[in-house]
Amino acid sequence: MGQERDVLKEPTQVIQEIEGQLDKLLQRKIDDIERDLAARIGQEKEAARRRKEEVEREFLKEHDTLSEYRTSVRATEEERNGLLAEARKHFDKVVHLQAEIEGLARATVEEIKKVTEVQQRIEDLREKTAERAGFLKTDLRERFGIVADALDEEEKPLSLDLDEELEKLRRIKELLAIESAAVGLGSVPEDDRSPEDLAALDGGEAQEGFRIPEIQELVAEMPAVLAAEPRPETEAGPGPAPSAEEPEAAVEAALESCRRTEPANGNGEIHYFQKDSKILVDGESLFTVVDKTIEEARRLSAKLDQTESPKDQFFIKQELINWQEGLRALVLRIIKMTEKRIWELPDYTAAVLNAPSLRGILERLSMENWSNPEEFATFTAAAAELRKAYIERITPRGIYLRALKKELTAR
């Protein structure tokens, strides 16, 4: 019986040992799975942490870029406000100086009037003295046969050179006009206002009533003796009449001697011809500025297409807008001066270059945005068409130059 129990006991122990080994194996498998799961969770957490850090770095980079934009814009605004304040200061000073010059000019003309009046009184006195001397000589000769040589007509006193004084006034007027244009009165832009809007804010209305009059206007009420005063050129007699077919080179040289320029708000120059009070805008120079501006805009547009940095694109667009605004200010200046009849557009090219065509250019420059390729292309096409018509009009050039000179020297 004892042996039977031992035989039964041994299989039971073996089964229990097998079950224990199976349990250990199962637990080891479970532990391996849990370790693999924990490792995978750790890897995912690490990958998520790295992605999070990368996103944070990108965000900080964009935030820094925006901060740079903000700083740059703030610095630009501060600099512009400083320049505007400086421009207003100089503008006020110019207005004050203009008032003083106008007062001195009028006072000078008044003194010239008084000198003329005194001259007329001297002339009247001389005539009266001559009449009396003549009567006395006749009386002495007829009554006593005495010839009074000492009573011969006295020498006429030399008149003052009033022409020279008037020429000085004319030069003062021209200098004042040039200086006014040089400081760009009313042409400093503020925000999106036009130069004329800013001029109105800074006292443009007062400027309208502050025109320096022509010399002819100032002396309109002077005595007739001033108008009859002989000019140096009339004393020598009239010069030879100009040839109807004056050489083109001579005509061009004569026009160049009458050429004047004034700055156009920092973007090129406005050219015109001036002879006395007659001022004609040089259309060729205007189209030269237009071509130069368009060429620079093309260069900036090409550079903009090749630039990926938002910051660089911003500054390129700003420069492109500045060129467009500069051309707009130039055209607006010409329109305003012609509307005030201070400048004139040549009659010979009036069929092409006239007030409506300039207004059309101004409207495009004001409404369109050159950073938009389509709008820039439409403006370029319109400018090219207008320029082509202008070139056809002034060809042949000799005829155009002679007509321009004739109009400039016409009285």
- Delimit the domains of the chain by residue range: 14-70, 92-149+159-229, 246-411
pLDDT tens track for 237-278: 444 444 446 788 899 999 999 999 988 765 678 999 998 889
DSSP string, 102-130: HHHHHHHHHHHHHHHHHHHHHHHHHHHHH
Cα–Cα distances in angstroms (integers) from residue 242 to residues 78, 250, 274, 409, in the given order: 59, 11, 20, 12
Cα distance between residue 177 and residue 69, in whole Å: 41
In the predicted model, is pLDDT for residue 228 greater than 50?
Answer: no
pLDDT at 105 exceeding the cut of 50: yes
Beta bridge partners of 260: 272
Name the DSSP letter for residue 159.
Answer: P
CA–CA distance, 264 with 320 (Å, rounded to integer): 17
- The pLDDT of residue 98 is 77
Residue that the structure tokens 């101004």 belong to: 362
**How far from 228 is each of 115, 162, 224, 231, CA to CA, in Å?**
15, 12, 6, 9
In angstroms, the first-to-last Cα distance of the chain is 158
Q: Which residue has the higher pLDDT, 151 or 303?
A: 303
Q: CA 58, 63, 68 angle in degrees (round to 5)?
A: 125
How far is the C-alpha of 307 from the C-alpha of 128, rounded, in Å? 90
Let me know: does 319 contact 297? Beta carbons within 8 Å: no
- Whole-number pLDDT of residue 307: 87
- Summary mean pLDDT of the chain: 76
- Rounded-to-integer distance, Cα 38 and Cα 109, Å: 105
Say what the pTM is.
0.43
**390, two tokens:** 């202008």
pLDDT in tens, 123-150: 778 777 777 777 676 766 666 666 655 4
pLDDT, tens only, 23-59: 888 888 888 898 888 888 988 888 888 888 888 888 8
How would residue 155 be classed by pLDDT, with cut points 50, 70 and 90? very low
pLDDT at 61: 82
What's the pLDDT score for residue 259?
A: 93
Nearby residues of 262 by Cβ (< 8 Å), 6 or more positions away: 178, 181, 182, 269, 270
Band of residue 158 on the pLDDT scale cut at 50, 70, 90: very low
pLDDT of residue 139: 66
More confident residue, 111 or 290: 290
Mean pLDDT of 271-292: 92
pLDDT value, residue 116: 75
Q: What is the mean pLDDT of residues 209-218?
A: 46
Kindly tell me if the per-residue pLDDT of 219 is higher than 50.
no
With a cut of 80, say whether residue 323 has pLDDT above it: yes
pLDDT at 267: 63
Q: Is 264 exposed, middle or buried (0-12, 13-18, 19+ CB in 10 A)?
A: buried
